[in-house]
């Protein structure tokens, strides 16, 4: 049995942090569940209390759905980033193909081996 005199772990959030979190929720950057995960808030009710207390656009009793918008925004951002990365990979592949072709042409034209082969000493020509 745990000692009754021991204190439970309790997090205290500053007013400044609560205001920051509520603004993020209002802008659709975070959802209530996201806040709970990111900041270690154990209860969604706690986050809703912050919203009702600190929000300038919401009143108590107002239903404010942020989860879907927040997830949609994140998904759109991830899709955009994925396209950027695929384009960058494509450019790098084209660059690699270009260099490979240039090396092959130089080898043919000058009759020497330019490609580095593992285990061989470079020629001292």
Return d(Cα 101, Cα 113) in angstroms, integer: 13
> pTM for the complete prediction?
0.43
CB 9 within 8 A of CB 38: no
Per domain, the residue ranges of the chain are 11-64, 65-112
Per-residue pLDDT of the chain (125 residues; tens, 9 = 90+): 555 555 666 788 999 999 999 998 888 888 888 899 999 999 899 998 998 888 877 666 555 555 556 677 888 899 999 999 999 999 999 999 999 999 999 999 998 888 776 555 655 55
């Amino acid at each position: 049995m745990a000692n009754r005199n021991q204190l439970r772990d309790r997090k205290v959030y500053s007013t400044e942090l609560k205001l920051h979190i509520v603004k993020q929720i209002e802008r659709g950057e975070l959802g209530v569940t996201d806040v709970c995960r990111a900041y270690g808030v154990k209860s969604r009710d706690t986050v809703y209390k912050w919203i009702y207390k600190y929000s300038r656009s919401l009143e108590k009793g107002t239903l404010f759905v942020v989860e879907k918008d927040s997830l949609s925004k994140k998904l759109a951002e991830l899709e955009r980033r994925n396209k950027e990365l695929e384009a960058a990979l494509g450019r790098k592949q084209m660059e690699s193909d270009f260099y490979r072709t240039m090396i092959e042409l130089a080898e043919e034209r000058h009759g020497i081996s330019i490609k580095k082969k593992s285990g061989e000493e470079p020629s001292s020509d």
